[in-house]
Amino acid sequence: MGFSDEENAFIEWYPRGYGVGFKVKARLLEIQTRYQRLELYETEGFGKLLVLDGTVQLVERGEESYHEPLVHPVMLAHPNPERVLIIGGGDGGTLREVLKHGTVEKAVMVEIDDAVIDVSRRYLNIDRGAFEDPRAEVIVGDGVEYLRNAGEKFDVIIIDSTDPVGPAKMLFSEGFYRDVYNALNGRGLMVTQAGSVYLFTDELLGAYREMSRVFDRVYYFSFPVIGYASPWSFLVGVKGDVDFTRVDLSRAEGLELKYYDPERHETLFQMPRYVRELLEAFPSL
């Protein structure tokens, strides 16, 4: 349904009639970019709400519940993440979390829609200076094309995309994952969000299957994200000798995390039994 004047609310409807909604005080912006419809609202209790093509991207108060589990588990599991690539992430939250790590020498962010970057910098400022960090390189362009022609290798690649349906579906394909694998160093990690565990189960299974055809090992985990139909799923692809079940707690000190707890890293892997059984039913590829 989106925004309702009568209810003063924004509701994102998921499959089977499930909705996630926010009480809204004002609509601050509504524009049609070259790629999508962008809306910005002021909510009653969660600050500003960013919406793309009718889907919630983030709320100001609680966006860390998405960006922290997307970034820090792979960053702390990798032995020395110096070069990081982010596909998407135009709001700057993922870049901000990546640059908290002192090992990072270069972080490249490729966002296709410059309007998302502009609006986020003007109204949200959740990057907290990340766009100006000398280690950051921000590119406006197609992340798929960038990966396909990448002339450099990365230790960690983070796919901060929209849901695994519609136009973003290509970011969950075997061909795309193969380009990611080839762009990783000999020891590398890739992470992608993969939608609601309960409501996008088929999409999660499909992405897991496609990744399993490419990566040496694939892990799945979930996390409750404010503004999304929780629990939200994430998939990690491993290249080479990296153990994603363990993280370096010494490097977690000083990260100032609110949601992801490195000392309880193992709790990420809790999945509903039926989802775990479906995922583990796939034969080794």
Residues annotated as catalytic are 160
Residues 6+ apart with CB under 8 A from 120: 50, 90, 91, 92, 126, 127
Sign of the CA dihedral 128, 140, 60, 27?
A: positive
